[in-house]
């Protein structure tokens, strides 16, 4: 799973592109390339398929390889639509991101549908990004690390805090208990 990071893509046999980023570029295409319809179709495809993946992984729906293949075929049709729209009207220098996204999907198609074939693969890495964003925002606001051990302590503390929050426990009580048992 990556945000189209070349170093990660080269490792391993299978890869899933984060669809949250693909959706962002498709939305940009919809907004910046009037007359092209592939972007909105891709946005809808992503929403429908992430919803289907969620229903399959939480047990609401049963996985069907025929259904997955139909969904993959739908994406192929969107790629063909994008290709024909860009042949008719080439991308502008102003907004190349939509065209570049279309080209990546066309060239590395399997990287965009792995989550449909293997439901253990998530369609996005949003959870990891949200967790990383907390660290990045705090680091930019108030601190600089003088060495790697300081960074390690910060990450350990942030991990403990996020684990407590994730378990829906009282943050103050849980941290107090940890210090009282030291």
For residue range 28-52, what is the model confidence (pLDDT) as tens digits? 999 999 889 999 999 999 999 999 9
Rounded Cα distance, 78 and 21, in Å: 17
Q: Which residues, listed in sequence order, are joined to residue 139 by a DSSP beta bridge?
A: none
Could you tell me which residue, 12 or 149, shows the higher pLDDT? 149
Q: What is the pLDDT of residues 123-137, one digit of tens each?
A: 987 766 666 666 666
Q: Which residues, listed in sequence order, are joined to residue 17 by a DSSP beta bridge?
A: 2
pLDDT at 178: 83
Rounded Cα distance, 56 and 78, in Å: 23
- Domain ranges in the chain are 6-124, 127-180
pLDDT at 182 over 60: no
Rounded Cα distance, 137 and 133, in Å: 6
């Amino acid at each position: 799973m990556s945000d189209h990071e070349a170093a990660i893509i080269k490792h391993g046999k299978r890869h899933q592109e984060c669809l949250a980023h693909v959706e962002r570029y498709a939305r940009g295409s919809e907004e910046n390339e009037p007359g092209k319809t592939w972007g909105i179709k891709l946005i809808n495809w992503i929403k429908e398929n992430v919803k289907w993946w969620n229903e399959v992984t939480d047990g609401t729906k049963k996985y069907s390889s025929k259904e997955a293949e139909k969904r993959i075929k739908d994406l192929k049709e969107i790629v063909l639509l994008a290709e024909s729209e860009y042949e008719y009207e080439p991308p502008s220098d102003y907004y190349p991101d939509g065209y570049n996204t279309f080209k990546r999907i066309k060239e590395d198609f399997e990287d965009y549908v792995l989550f449909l074939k293997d439901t253990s693969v998530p369609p996005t890495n949003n959870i990891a990004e949200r967790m990383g964003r907390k660290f990045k925002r705090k680091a930019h606001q108030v601190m600089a690390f003088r060495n790697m051990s300081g960074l390690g302590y910060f990450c350990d503390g942030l991990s403990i805090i996020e684990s407590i929050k994730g378990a829906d426990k009282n943050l103050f009580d849980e941290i107090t208990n940890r210090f009282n048992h030291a």
